[in-house]
Chains A and B, each alone.
Chain A
Amino acid sequence: MLDGEKQLIERAIRGEASAFGLLYDRYQTQIYRFIYLKVSHREEAEDLTHQVFLKSWQTISGYKFQGLPFSSWLYRIARNQVIDYYRTKKNNLNIEEISESKIDDSSIEVIEILDDNSNVKKIKEAIKQLNPGHQDVIILRFIEELSLKETASALKKSEMAVKLLQHRAIKNLKKILGNNE
Chain B
Amino acid sequence: MNKNLLENLKELRQIQPDSNYTTRSRFLILAEPTATENLPGFKITQIYKPAFAIGLISIFVLMALGGIYQIIKPGQNDLVVRANEINSSIQVKLDEIKYLIENNNHLNAENILNIQALLEKTTNELKEASILSQENKDLGKSLEKIKSAQEILLQIDAMLQ
Interface, chain A (partner B; CB < 8 A): 13-15, 17-18, 20-21, 24-25, 28-29, 32-33, 36-37, 42, 45-46, 49-50, 53-54, 57-62, 110, 113-114, 117, 119-120, 123-124, 138, 142-145, 170, 173-174, 177
Q: Which of B33-41, B67-75, B80-88, B121-129 contacts A (4 or more CB under 8 A)?
A: B33-41
Query: 6 interchain pairs (CB within 8 A)?
Result: A28-B22, A29-B17, A49-B25, A53-B29, A54-B32, A124-B12
- Taking a contact as CB atoms under 8 Å apart, the answer to whether B30 and A20 are in contact is yes
Binary per-residue interface labels of chain B (1-29) against chain A in the complex, 1 for a CB within 8 Å, 0 otherwise:
11011101111111111100110011011
Known contacts A28-B22, A46-B17, A123-B5, A61 near B35 by CB under 8 Å? yes
A58→B14 CA distance, assembly (Å): 30
- Taking a contact as CB atoms under 8 Å apart, the answer to whether A143 and B12 are in contact is yes
Q: Taking CB as reference atom, which chain B residue is nearest A113?
A: B14
A18→B21 CA distance, assembly (Å): 19
A142→B46 CA distance, assembly (Å): 41
- Taking a contact as CB atoms under 8 Å apart, the answer to whether B17 and A143 are in contact is no
- Taking a contact as CB atoms under 8 Å apart, the answer to whether A143 and B13 are in contact is yes
Known contacts A57-B34, A123-B5, A142-B9, A50 near B29 by CB under 8 Å? yes
Contact of A174 among B5, B25, B30, B32 (CB under 8 A): B5
Q: Residues of A contacting B28 with CB < 8 Å?
A: 50, 54
Q: Residues of A contacting B8 with CB < 8 Å?
A: 117, 119-120, 123
Chain B residue total in the interface (Cβ 8 A): 32
A32→B4 CA distance, assembly (Å): 25
Q: Taking CB as reference atom, which chain B residue is nearest A25?
A: B26
**Closest A-B pairs by Cβ, 10 of them:** A32-B17, A142-B9, A17-B30, A15-B36, A120-B11, A50-B25, A61-B36, A61-B35, A33-B15, A119-B8
- B93 touches A (CB below 8 Å): no
Q: Taking CB as reference atom, which chain B residue is nearest A42?
A: B18
